[in-house]
Amino acid sequence: MGNSKVAVCFCVTILFLFWAELSFSMSRRPTEVVAMEFVRVDYEEEVKALIVEMVVPEIDAINDLSRIELLISHDKTQEIFGVILNYGDRLDPIPPGNFGVIIDPSSDDRSIKNVSSAAGIPGRWDHPSPHGKLLKQSTRGVVNGNLGISIWIAPQDWNPGHYTIKARAVKWKQLSAPWQQLAEFDYTGKGLKKGMQSTCLIKPIFINISNQAVMPFDRVRSIILIRYEKQPQDKGVTIKRWAGDTASQYKYVEKEKRKLSLNDFPEGHILLAPGIYQIKHNSVKGVSGMTSGYYGKSTYFAIKPESKMIEVRIPLYPAI
């Protein structure tokens, strides 16, 4: 009888802890996307190290930033090496100001069981993980309000092939922001072939044509983002607006269309991969003579691998 009561109490305690953890997780909101700019990926032959450098602009304007995580994957599927920087002033899970190595980069576990404090402690630099070492040349610093991060990694047992670099931010007591793919590179086993930035931040600017004023996001609310592919024009189709016009040589074929809520981008920035895009908006409603809202679209704009942040102007016309 006594044993059964103990078993029941044990089960109730386990369920209570489970629901408490679930409630805590559900109460946390995701960290919004933080702007990150890729600088370079290189290989230092003398120390056999891969160097990844990035910048987080206007770092002081980001409140409650706890840590920044960087992940390198092989062929976009196999996580090879993970690093975190504790930028906050609390233990998370390593001391403030320190770098840490993610022991199992395929896991989202960021407890001390899966993160080794590999920086700032005598004798703990060059701390190994299953696929390499974080070297003491790794550093970070703030210049003109921008956080620069330089990470030096000595690869171990990396197969030759295509690799991607991702990063994300985590605010205190919030869920992680989505991963941002910053760059891609080809590793030969002894060095690099090439590296390139693979995402870009855009800043949509909505212009009210009736008074030429900038409209805030909370008035626009949503947009349609369309990605196109540039293809040769169909045979027999000729578009010639003036002498020497080359518009007929190509056409833009719609490949993807997404409706985006601007409430999801409180910082006013949208992260895009290289490609050709257009932004459209249509909030017109009502019947003739009693309509409200706006409509408009941007010109086609291209995101290139070397692009950083670009502004995209969208003229909006009031409903007639």
CATH classification at residue 144: 2.60.40.10
Which of the 8 DSSP states describes residue 65? E
Same domain, 188 and 211: no
The domain of 310 spans 201-318
Q: What is the pLDDT of residue 73?
A: 95
Statement to judge: residues 184 and 308 lie in one domain: no
Claim to verify: residue 94 and residue 145 sit in the same structural domain: yes
Are 200 and 303 a contacting pair, CB within 8 Å? yes
What pTM value is reported for the model?
0.58
Check residue 24 and give its pLDDT. Answer: 42
Query: Are 219 and 302 members of one domain?
Result: yes
pLDDT for the residue numbered 312: 96
Window from 211-220, 232-241, 309-318 with minimum mean pLDDT: 232-241
CA distances from 75 to 34, 159, 193, 234, 246 (A): 25, 10, 15, 35, 38
Question: Does residue 10 sit within a domain?
Answer: no
Which of 181, 198, 215 corresponds to the end of one domain?
198
Place of tokens 């233990």: 91
Closest by Cα among 89, 84, 97 to 151: 84
Contacts for 271 with CB less than 8 Å, ≥ 6 apart: 33, 180, 199, 200, 201
Boundary-marking domain end, from 198, 218, 241 = 198
Non-local CB neighbours of 80 within 8 Å, separated by 6+ positions: 72, 73, 74, 105, 131, 132, 158, 163
> Judging by DSSP bridges, how do beta strands 290-292 and 285-287 pair with one another?
antiparallel
- Count of the separate structural domains present in the chain: 2
Q: What is the pLDDT of residue 123?
A: 42
Note the pLDDT tens digit of each residue in 232-271.
888 877 776 676 666 667 888 998 898 988 887 767 888 7
Question: CA-CA distances (angstroms) from residue 124 to 46, 116, 133?
Answer: 22, 9, 11
Q: Does the pLDDT at position 23 exceed 50?
A: no
Q: 217 and 164: one domain?
A: no
Q: Would residue 243 count as lying in a domain? A: yes
Residue 284 belongs to a domain with what CATH number? 2.60.40
Q: Of 198, 225, 243, which residue constitutes the final position of a domain?
A: 198
